[in-house]
Structure 1
């Protein structure tokens, strides 16, 4: 086999390097996209894990509070005094904002630590005082030490003032040095100073514990008798949580990137079909000389494997380069929002490279399988006389419908570990089954075409109608690429329309005021105080002002915390984008309204009871955790928070928690009111006007849709790549056919057909087959889009939407493919029909 490959396959690849380069390019592109996505996500996750380990250190266990305000610091004394505890490090965690050197407000994470204890568990947190600073600077309650990311972000030197937001005011702190922690912008300060500056007196966020040698973890926890609002967490909990929640996102990106590899397999199929057709005399001669059918099969498969190997090696190199560029210019986020603030370095692994290279080789071999079988089935003696072509696979009309039926059944299967694995398999079976239905579909569609009186059009239509097996070779790539393009177009259009209508519902006010990103961790430190809210409600020009309070609500350590939203709810059916009907209210029970993600992740279906962990703030500022029961009345759509959200009445939230803070104010203006004047009055109410942000509903809507379009821009590029690959397949297929039909064209020339008429025949066949392929691709794409919209999206991201088909865009897409396919077929025939007619039929004399 090696000798066969060395003496026949490699010279053939070199001789037809230009044609085979196109197939290698398709394999390379698919491997490069998939491998680059893997590298970006793996590097970002590894960087995040490294940053978490550096900041969290290497404790044996971490004690965390179940609420957003932590737990009573009195527990620390009990933990530190336990005989089996070697070291206990108390920590305050604050997510807030700070003002940089240019006056811009940027996110900043603040850790309050005991500088004498924390570095023993997490050396990266060791405060490094700047030259000339006091040796007691680490104990200064107003001193902060910035990590390298924060130093670059805020452009502040030692001795400069750093203004950190707390509420609607700024806390003045002094940069006294740095720390070596990687990751997001981070400031380290004395724990007592952090408690005072951010209203955390008497509270802790966590205690990192190192046990004594030989201590039993379970026994220590049992003896500590921790209160219900304190739990023992694994040190790598944050990394595991991010890995779990971003897994569906990473898998979807990888599957999307493999679209190019899938369509590339069809291009390899078309290129090798052309190669087999062009080399029929060679195969026939070799067959007569003793080359067996099995060896012919192995020869073509060896060529496809060589194409895959070369393309995959180039794809791994290109994917590594793409990942480097993406990590440098885009970070590790790629629009998913999971790795914000992480600046990862590339983590190349040979195992992953081998896996994706293997996928590329497999795709090439699968693409070359049918041409290899055609070469195996040929009759050498007949082919040597010019009486036979490469054989076609036996007809199996039941195969396509059976595969599509199996795909439809798989779409009904539930997700596996939060991944839509069966749905992906369903899409694959639908595509393969739809392509297997091409011959029957072409015959059915062309049956309705009326015969033409023009001889060239009559020949074109009749040949396209009767040689249906050739249609599979000609339009399989078009059907595959167009169906994927149609499916992605419908999915994106449906999602965009759903988001647009959702924004119309959730943005009813004229003006929005906030001081923290919605749903972010800064909501606990950057908020609008009650006196500001009261004064804002009575300003001239305000017809109505609705307050909103958003806070994180930890429910499951393995998942990010859902968001609890407290807002006025006089008419939930009007103010919430509900899915389904509302359950009737129950007497003496508080009502809650959950997002679709909340219902899916926590089984919070309408009619069930939901227990929410809340923090009760006393009149003296003390805090304690409570559990509050709610009756789930309904489910609403929320495209902003993938991890879940719960809406309750503002009055219920305040009665249960005593928390009067507000994160957002929504103003409905009185008729004729001046919005600019209202903004000036609101700025005058704030202690620092720079800490509040204004946005109109139209601005938020436009910005949201802009972000949406930018996030899905890659899908349009992938559609274009798929279509181009499909057109290359048409060109290769028709090139193979016109080479095999050169005697037919010569005979037509002897019968009086002009060169233009022969070209018209081929172009007519191309138009007929491409039009049939476009219709089949459109129908198949719509079927795949149903799976993407109604199965993949809800299973992966817990969002539902209505299917919207943009018929104008789809019609333009199909028309462009038909025109391009017709022109491609005509161009592919030019070389063959330019031969002298006598030479074309000379072999038959």
Structure 2
């Protein structure tokens, strides 16, 4: 019997290819997008973790500073501790390298200093491999410790070779200068471009004498790490990490972005479920007499239900198989063309290969089948509850349980509102996502009620016009059919409206935020400053810039990182001059979410301003003490504590940032290094002349190519361009969702007009012309799509409130104001209405062109 049902279902799908294609395409696209996001992220994360594991090796423990570097005196003390087999110091800094000469390109690299005597025991991939000596060349075995020798990994060698032989020398940037180094060999470390040298040479080269980034430890067999750490008595600024935590932090860094992309990808699958529901509901209605005949011939109600479910399962299976293939291809193409950063910049520089995951493919394939089965459940119930005798005569209950459906719809929407207030689960807004789904399901379930209310008020207005009256009355009497036909377009339009509002709100908030955090007209920094903490501006250069004509004030800016929680990404510490008002409250030039408060009197309180992420992740609320920040200041005076004076919006650093006045930072840390200069120009000063003067200063030391300028307007433009690129996938998903919805409308109208041939024949006998019949169909399409557009707009606005005020704060830990781009929303709705009306008209042409007499004879 099951095989017979499957055969019957397959024949039904095969004889209506366009209707079947609509449902299959929706499921296929949802599965493909979700699987491609999963494969891209898994491949990038695996590549990143593999590179980190190869470079860092597998030490038993790694000692790091919470902020800055470690005193290299710690290396000798730790190496002599009982239970330590080897202690390998590592200094790692970001900089840039070039081969020099005209036309030579400059690339971002990591300069890694290692101890050749110990690194092989802990991180063999970082062990320098001297190049074989060529004829007539002398190679010294002490090149491993030579201050002018570096070793390139394969990525750096390829990037610097320009298609020719490997370079013999490279130039490394240090501040605003270049240092020539000799390429003495290679290292086997994978990943981003890397240059390895002796740790002492790296300290001298980058002016980090006495400092290392970490100390990797290999313990003797049987040594307990906890006992060893207790015996070492490390200061609180030093933390011990186990292997693999770098990969875990990278996973945490991209998790929220990854989850949101996956949910957006499942939006198409969600819409596909509604489209399957729409197509099968109309299919069951069109085949009512056929299914009733099967019932008379002995097919029981459960078997009729399984018949429709078999059709939906076949749709889901076809869509899932095609979706898995398409998703794999999309993932491979994206990894080849875009890398693995998913538009969010989390894995920039990583060029992974595709890591196929059978469990992920089976999971998303199963989701596609489940979505199709859920979409086919209600049509299957309708087929099972059909009374065969009445159905054979074209009779049957219409909306028999409509009141119960309305109660269920209202209950679902009330539950959605309640879930929107629920807290996140493990940092993921699961309840909010469920709330969005319930809002859509409940809103679409309430469509018949909304259709009835609107059409009841519209009917009296068209009572004197025959064609509009026919269209409105038919839609009014068959409101369930209208609701089913428009459910796909309502779901897709609602999600498109929600994404449009969310992106517009975010973009508007980012624009306002940029206006607040960019007070200066011009910014200048070292060309390698974006590569990490390795590059700063020399003090004499900063002093010379301040004395240039046309510059009213030059504010130095300092940025560094603090590892408050080893399991989470580092927090950014920003030191900048802060304005003070008459009451002595700082932070007036920061985009604060509420007025700042004064520190308590009689204490050595240093006011700091935290981003919204710090409140959610670390509980740093205004008026509290941020004691973990003390780890950034090893020589903090006694009784000095950091007071949270305010919370500011920071859209650039998702995992937390802290702002401190520059004077307080220099006083407490003694660090006078400068990452950027914010230049406030004098009234009437010419920006181009100021740039030329600064470039002339750099040219005097041969560093004219190592200076980067950016005006506030350029930074805004670049930031918004990056924003648009990051959200490009949402724009594409909107178009895809609308396309799927309109495809569903086309399939629905096609099925209906074929089932209404007798009706059209009767209208033709009553005197209506072909154009008038097409006009009735087009007016029905207009009425239905207008109702669908109104319902989709209302549902989309409700969903956007949840996305803006719940999902974004819980996922990314920042808030924003709701912005409604009305013209864009109205244009979106108008496009749906026009496309839906045209689709209905085109679908009606085939049925209206058939012979009217033959159509009426079929009714005899």
- State the TM-score, normalizing by the size of structure 2: 0.94
1:603 paired to 2:602: no
Q: Deviations over 1:64-91 (max 9, x none)?
A: 12221x2222222222222312222121
- Which residue number corresponds to residue 153 of structure 1? 159
Residue 748 of structure 1: how far off its partner (Å): 2.2
- Which residue number corresponds to residue 5 of structure 1? 5
- Which residue number corresponds to residue 144 of structure 1? 150
- Which residue number corresponds to residue 93 of structure 1? 92
Q: Secondary structure at the match of 1:334?
A: coil
Mapping of residues 49-448 of structure 1, within 5 Å: 49-68=49-68, 70-100=69-99, 102-132=103-133, 133-155=139-161, 160-387=168-395, 394-395=402-403, 396-448=405-457
1:576 paired to 2:582: no
1:676 paired to 2:723: no
**Contact 1:277/1:736, CA 8 A, preserved across alignment:** no
C-alpha spacing 1:751/1:626, structure 2 compared with 1 (3 Å): farther
Backbone CA RMSD of aligned residues? 2.0
Deviates more, 1:533-542 or 1:98-107: 98-107
C-alpha spacing 1:516/1:578, structure 2 compared with 1 (3 Å): farther
1:453 paired to 2:464: yes
Q: Secondary structure at the match of 1:398?
A: helix
Unaligned runs of 5+ in 2: 134-138, 581-585
C-alpha spacing 1:100/1:586, structure 2 compared with 1 (3 Å): farther
Structure 2 distance, partners of 1:652, 1:683, is: 31
Residue 424 of structure 1: how far off its partner (Å): 0.5
Q: Secondary structure at the match of 2:383?
A: helix
- Which residue number corresponds to residue 620 of structure 1? none
Mapping of residues 794-833 of structure 1, within 5 Å: 794-833=809-848
- Which residue number corresponds to residue 486 of structure 2? 475
1:33 paired to 2:33: yes
Mapping of residues 618-657 of structure 1, within 5 Å: 629-657=641-669
**Contact 1:4/1:299, CA 8 A, preserved across alignment:** no
Q: Deviations over 1:691-712 (max 9, x none)?
A: 1101111111111111111221
Q: Secondary structure at the match of 1:333?
A: coil
Structure 2 distance, partners of 1:836, 1:372, is: 34
Mapping of residues 552-563 of structure 1, within 5 Å: 552-563=561-572
Structure 1 distance, partners of 2:560, 2:122, is: 30
C-alpha spacing 1:812/1:277, structure 2 compared with 1 (3 Å): same
Structure 1 distance, partners of 2:360, 2:401, is: 36
1:503 paired to 2:514: yes
Residue 631 of structure 1: how far off its partner (Å): 1.5
Residue 746 of structure 1: how far off its partner (Å): 2.4
Residue 625 of structure 1: how far off its partner (Å): 7.5
C-alpha spacing 1:379/1:740, structure 2 compared with 1 (3 Å): farther
Q: Which one of 623, 626, 630 corresponds to residue 613 of structure 1?
A: 630
Structure 2 distance, partners of 1:383, 1:841, is: 20
Structure 2 distance, partners of 1:86, 1:516, is: 41
Q: Deviations over 1:575-594 (max 9, x none)?
A: 11111121134445221111
Structure 1 distance, partners of 2:706, 2:7, is: 74
- Which residue number corresponds to residue 717 of structure 2? 702
Deviates more, 1:246-255 or 1:83-92: 83-92
**Contact 1:613/1:626, CA 8 A, preserved across alignment:** no
Deviates more, 1:104-113 or 1:50-59: 104-113
**Contact 1:374/1:392, CA 8 A, preserved across alignment:** no
**Contact 1:544/1:668, CA 8 A, preserved across alignment:** yes
**Contact 1:66/1:613, CA 8 A, preserved across alignment:** no
Unaligned runs of 5+ in 1: 617-622
- Which residue number corresponds to residue 136 of structure 2? none
Deviates more, 1:371-380 or 1:37-46: 371-380
**Contact 2:612/2:647, CA 8 A, preserved across alignment:** yes
Structure 1 distance, partners of 2:235, 2:289, is: 85
Structure 2 distance, partners of 1:650, 1:788, is: 37
Mapping of residues 708-787 of structure 1, within 5 Å: 708-787=723-802
Residue 126 of structure 1: how far off its partner (Å): 2.0
Residue 803 of structure 1: how far off its partner (Å): 0.2
Deviates more, 1:465-474 or 1:401-410: 465-474
Q: Secondary structure at the match of 1:366?
A: helix
Structure 1 distance, partners of 2:79, 2:680, is: 53
Structure 1 distance, partners of 2:635, 2:206, is: 17
Structure 2 distance, partners of 1:703, 1:66, is: 32
Q: Secondary structure at the match of 2:435?
A: helix
Q: Deviations over 1:127-161 (max 9, x none)?
A: 12122143332221221111112122222755622
**Contact 2:630/2:641, CA 8 A, preserved across alignment:** no
Residue 15 of structure 1: how far off its partner (Å): 2.9
Deviates more, 1:157-166 or 1:821-830: 157-166
Q: Deviations over 1:32-90 (max 9, x none)?
A: 1110000000011111111111011111111112221x222222222222231222212
**Contact 1:145/1:176, CA 8 A, preserved across alignment:** yes
**Contact 1:143/1:174, CA 8 A, preserved across alignment:** yes
Structure 2 distance, partners of 1:197, 1:302, is: 71
Q: Secondary structure at the match of 1:108?
A: strand
Residue 634 of structure 1: how far off its partner (Å): 1.0
**Contact 1:266/1:367, CA 8 A, preserved across alignment:** yes
Structure 1 distance, partners of 2:636, 2:124, is: 32
Structure 1 distance, partners of 2:308, 2:76, is: 75
